[in-house]
């Protein structure tokens, strides 16, 4: 197919006849409706999107029309798609009208499309697509013009109401909450937790469905964002600053910049170290308060159905516990404040996000090993078993363990492997595990046969 001829965004002007523009969608707003002043009782519908065709030029496009046309057009493409806009109305921007509610662009103009005069379609020109796709990773602002999360926290309420650029990594993505507004409109809200090398957790709030759909596709701890024109506010409920995605915001995923590359490397290092696993979730609950009993398959199923941490009991056999590994794999030293792994020789924590970096360093050495447990429904692999529970289960301290011979360690292992145990576990979501979950053993003891029989009968009777 012959290559199509497109007008560059930088060359747009109102006198063009039947212009055709190709660009990659870098931002998109929700569909909104307004009463039509010319036709009483009839609503007009609209939404906007922003397209980019070169590193330096991008333009806002607004679609107007009836419900069927506008919603149909909005559903036909998403942020990141390459589109062709044919015969739009090219007009000068008016900062006093709708343009103040759109992303700031370098173009002098804006485009308007309607069902009668214009057409918007997905681009099928392979040459154009190959040229446009890399642009999605280029920020729309100077890549060095951003606030770190530490800068935002340090400035505090002095930034209240300002619109700034942020470079940060994604720590976690919350669940979308839906609600009904006072005027009976449906609304939604989703919160993303960001982090960088200065702050371990910072909230980014999304209200628009388009923004929510975009961030729901992100991979936590593996995605860096350049957030252009985020609004900063003070949240009195949590007594801290927040960032909000608004109509002017454009989010660039994994920006192709030096600053973003450095942050991505840091995020990967911190995620692999396990430092981010020390979430701001509540501490472990007392094991006495944990009463829900699960089979292994039920634990796996529930972990897939919900994204939150939960607790449970399982009656299972310990099927793998490699006590014959090297001591360095079984006994580890961690910072007492952030649980970051350190060596016994270190005199300070190497985790830049450690809350105790300005205080006297302290570390603790203990068992830190993995085990599998199995019942009649399956096996849960690589469950974390740490001190002091590991010392209770093994019946020895770390110092005593290091002095045991291989034969003595083997005997310890088989003593545990031959018994059905009552195991209290904490289940957390984890992108690093193939199963999508991580299990931490909170308590483990030999199970009472009568108790096992009672609970297993109840489980078998469940639908």
Tell whether the model's pLDDT for residue 463 goes beyond 60.
no
pLDDT at 53: 95
pLDDT band at 281 (very low <50, low <70, confident <90, very high): very low
The two tokens of residue 19 are: 């212009």
**Pairing state between β 378-386 and 341-342:** unpaired
Q: Give dist(CA 129, CA 383) in Å, integer.
A: 45
- Dihedral, CA atoms, 284, 290, 294, 299, nearest 10 degrees? -20
Across 187-207, average pLDDT = 91
The tokens for 60 are 């806002």
pLDDT at position 280 over 50:
no
CA distances from 65 to 52, 100, 387 (A): 24, 21, 65
Higher pLDDT: 157 or 459? It is 157
Nearest CA among 67, 25, 69 for reference residue 48: 25
The tokens for 402 are 């290091």
Picking from 42, 43, 81, 37, the residue whose alpha carbon sits closest to that of residue 61 is 81
Beta bridge partners of 137: none
Q: pLDDT digit string (tens) for 399-434? A: 899 898 999 999 888 888 878 889 999 988 765 566
Give me the torsion for CA of 314, 319, 325, 328, rounded to 10°: -10
pLDDT at 169 over 90: yes
CB 190 within 8 A of CB 208: no
Contact 214, 179 (CB under 8 A): no
| Of 446 and 213, more confident | 213
pLDDT digits (tens, 9 = 90+) for 58-75: 999 999 999 999 999 999
Residues near 328 by beta carbon (within 8 Å), at least 6 away in sequence: none
Judge whether 114 and 73 are in contact, CB under 8 Å.
no
CB atoms within 10 A of CB 145: 12
Two tokens, residue 152:
């935002």
Show the tokens assigned to 435. 């199963």
Coil/strand/helix, residue 401: helix
Give the mean model confidence (pLDDT) for residues 193-210.
Answer: 91
Helix (H) or strand (E) holding 25: strand 20-28
Q: Which of 288, 272, 339, 282 is nearest to 310 (CA)?
A: 282
- pLDDT at residue 378 in the model: 92
pLDDT in tens, 374-387: 998 999 988 988 88
Q: Output 38 or 176, whichever has higher pLDDT.
A: 176
Which pLDDT score is estimated for 30? 94
Backbone torsions φ then ψ of 286, nearest 5 degrees: -60, 140
The whole-model pTM stands at 0.63
Q: What is the mean pLDDT of residues 10-29?
A: 93
As a whole number, mean pLDDT of residues 283-307 equals 83
- pLDDT for 142: 94
Task: Name the strand (E) or helix (H) holding 420.
Answer: strand 420-429
Residue with tokens 């589109």, as numbered in its chain: 83
Measure Cα distances from 94 to 14, 99, 100 in Å. Answer: 14, 6, 8
Whether the pLDDT of residue 336 is over 60: the answer is: yes
> What average pLDDT does the structure give for the chain?
86
Q: How many helices (H) and strands (E) does the chain have?
A: 11, 22
Over residues 141-156, the pLDDT tens digits come to 999 999 999 899 888 8
Are the C-beta atoms of residues 397 and 388 closer than 8 Å to each other? no
Residue corresponding to tokens 């450690």: 354
Interval 206-218 mean pLDDT: 93
Whether the Cβ atoms of residue 200 and residue 356 lie closer than 8 Å to each other: no
What pLDDT, on the 0 to 100 scale, is given for residue 445? 85
Chain-centroid distance, C-alpha 69 = 33
Percent of the chain clearing pLDDT 70 (strictly above): 88
pLDDT of residue 282: 46
Tokens read off for 230: 């985020």
pLDDT tens for 338-368 read 667 777 777 777 766 666 666 677 778 888 8
Q: What integer is the mean pLDDT of 69-86?
A: 95
User: Model confidence at 451, in pLDDT bands (50, 70, 90)?
Assistant: confident
What pLDDT does 88 receive? 95
pLDDT for position 197: 86
Residue 138's pLDDT is what? 96
Give me the residue label for tokens 């108790």: 451
């Amino acid at each position: 197919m012959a290559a199509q001829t497109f007008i560059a965004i930088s060359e747009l002007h109102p006198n063009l006849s039947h212009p055709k523009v190709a660009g990659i969608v870098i931002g998109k707003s929700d569909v909104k409706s307004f009463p039509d002043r010319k036709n009483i009782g009839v609503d007009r519908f609209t939404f906007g999107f922003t397209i980019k065709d070169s590193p330096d030029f991008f333009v806002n496009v607004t679609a107007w029309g009836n419900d069927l046309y506008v919603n149909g057009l909005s559903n036909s493409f998403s942020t990141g798609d390459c589109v062709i806009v044919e015969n739009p109305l090219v007009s000068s921007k008016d900062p006093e009208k709708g343009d103040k509610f759109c992303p700031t662009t370098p173009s002098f103009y804006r485009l308007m499309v309607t069902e009668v005069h214009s057409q918007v379609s997905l681009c099928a020109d392979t040459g154009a697509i190959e040229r446009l796709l890399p642009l999605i990773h280029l920020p729309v602002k100077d890549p060095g013009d951003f606030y770190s999360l530490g800068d935002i926290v340090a400035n505090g309420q002095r930034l209240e109401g300002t619109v700034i650029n942020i470079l940060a990594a994604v720590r976690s993505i919350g669940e979308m909450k839906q609600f009904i507004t006072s005027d009976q409109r449906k609304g939604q809200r989703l919160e993303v937790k960001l982090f960088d090398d200065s702050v371990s957790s910072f909230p980014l709030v999304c209200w628009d469905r388009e923004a929510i759909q975009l961030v729901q596709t992100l991979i936590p701890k593996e995605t860096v964002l350049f957030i252009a024109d985020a609004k900063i506010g003070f949240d009195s409920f949590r007594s801290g600053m927040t960032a909000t995605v608004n109509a002017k915001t454009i989010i660039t995923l994994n920006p192709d910049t030096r600053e973003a590359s450095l942050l991505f490397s840091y995020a990967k290092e911190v995620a692999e170290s396990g430092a981010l696993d020390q979430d701001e979730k509540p501490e472990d609950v007392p094991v006495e308060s944990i009463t829900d009993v699960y089979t292994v398959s039920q634990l796996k199923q529930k972990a897939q159905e919900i994204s939150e941490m939960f607790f449970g009991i399982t009656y299972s056999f310990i099927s793998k516990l490699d006590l014959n590994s090297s001591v360095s794999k079984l006994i580890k030293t961690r910072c007492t404040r952030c649980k970051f792994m350190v060596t016994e020789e270190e005199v300070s924590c190497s985790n830049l996000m450690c809350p105790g970096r300005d205080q006297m360093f302290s570390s603790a050495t203990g068992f830190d090993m993995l085990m599998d447990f199995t019942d009649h429904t399956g096996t849960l692999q690589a469950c974390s078993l740490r001190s002091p529970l590991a010392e209770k289960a093994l019946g020895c301290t770390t110092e005593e363990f290091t002095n045991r011979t291989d034969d003595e360690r083997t005997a310890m292992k088989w003593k545990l492997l031959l018994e059905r145990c009552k195991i209290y576990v904490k289940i957390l979501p984890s992108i690093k595990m193939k199963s999508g979950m991580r299990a931490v053993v909170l308590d483990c003891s030999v199970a009472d046969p009568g108790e096992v029989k009672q609970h297993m009968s109840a489980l078998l009777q469940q639908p």
